[in-house]
Homo-oligomer: A and B are copies of this chain.
Amino acid sequence: MVQGTPTLADVARAAGVHKATASRALNPHTRGQVNAATASRVQAAARKLGYVPNSVARGLRTRRTAAVGVLVPDLANPLFPPIVRGIEDRLASDGYATLIASTDSDDDRERTQLAALEARQVEGFIVATARRSHPLFGDAAARGVPLVFVNRLVDGLAAPSVTADDAVGVASAVAHLVELEHRRIGYLAGPQDMSPGSIRLAAFRQAVSGTVVECAAYTEAAGLAGGRRLLAENPDVTGVLGGNDLIALGALEALAEAGLRCPADVSVIGFNDMPFADRIGPGLTTVRIPHHDMGVQAAELLMERIREPAVVAKKLLLPVSLVVRGSTAAAR
């Protein structure tokens, strides 16, 4: 009598075969090794008993858990959910599970979470938390842990990555402002210790000469503080580019504080096209990055890496597009 969840041994007994045979009959890869009649007998027994293979046992035996760890700074940050959703979709299509961990960009939590997920024998990681100089992930890569970075790059590390084409994004945002005859353009840069911050800033400097203020974080609060500083340093500015949408939102607040209207007095552009950017203020003009697809591609790259660890690491730059909304208008 079978009780609890049935095991392979139960199925084998019910079908009158050895459990090795039952295993072969049930696994699509090995089904060909089994007599067709036997195989269907086993399958019938499995169905009848409601047998579901125990993934933990299989994972221990095969050393393949079909699970992947995803490290994000904060799942509640609107940038990440669509990326994670893309990851999840791609992984699920290969039967892989998504283990998610928010690190709050805290070194200790990062280390702990990475270790905990490694202990669970995940087959690889998708990392959205990396700073430009980040020994933790350099070490992991060196240890041979399959790793793909998404929306982030680590300096000097030849690991696969999927990022948006930040440089083109900034260039097209600046071009848009220039076309609207803005001549005094300010940039509220994001933190320079993460790759998007430095890449976008470099692109801004290459595109135009303007006042640059570095914000302490990719947050509204930091954008507000940065916006105040920008207006203090350069009160005549007519166009402001934010390092991301949240910084741009903070900039909108700084403008309002200063009694300036957007876009009548000052145009503002964000970056990322986060959810509801179209509904905020006059509608935020921003650079759209393909969030969901970034997740999908990152998962795809990781699957490749897991299959072929030796293959050369690809760095994917996904195309961006400027989305023009109400926050930009001709210079006054």
Q: Write the residues of chain A forming the contact surface with B, with a CB cutoff of 8 angstroms.
A: 52-57, 59-60, 65, 67, 74-76, 78, 80-82, 84-85, 88-89, 92, 95, 97-102, 113, 115-121, 249, 275-276, 279-281, 292
**B55/A120 in contact, CB under 8 A:** yes
Q: Which 10 A-B pairs have the closest CB atoms?
A: A55-B120, A279-B280, A76-B85, A55-B119, A81-B81, A76-B82, A75-B85, A52-B119, A56-B121, A56-B60
Copies of this chain in the oligomer: 2
Contact of A120 among B74, B97, B275, B281 (CB under 8 A): B97
Residues of B within 8 A of A101 (CB): 88, 92, 97-98
Min Cβ gap A321→B in Å is: 19
Min Cβ gap A95→B in Å is: 7
Residues of B within 8 A of A292 (CB): 76
Q: Give complex CA distance A200, B249 in Å.
A: 32
Min Cβ gap A76→B in Å is: 5
**A115/B59 in contact, CB under 8 A:** no
Nearest residue (CB) in B for A82 is: B76
Nearest residue (CB) in B for A112 is: B92
**A52/B118 in contact, CB under 8 A:** yes
Nearest residue (CB) in B for A121 is: B56
Q: List 9 A-B contacts (CB under 8 A).
A: A75-B88, A84-B100, A89-B102, A95-B116, A98-B100, A249-B279, A275-B276, A276-B276, A276-B280
Min Cβ gap A53→B in Å is: 6
Min Cβ gap A117→B in Å is: 7
**A115/B57 in contact, CB under 8 A:** no
Q: Give complex CA distance A92, B118 in Å.
A: 15
Q: Give complex CA distance A95, B115 in Å.
A: 11
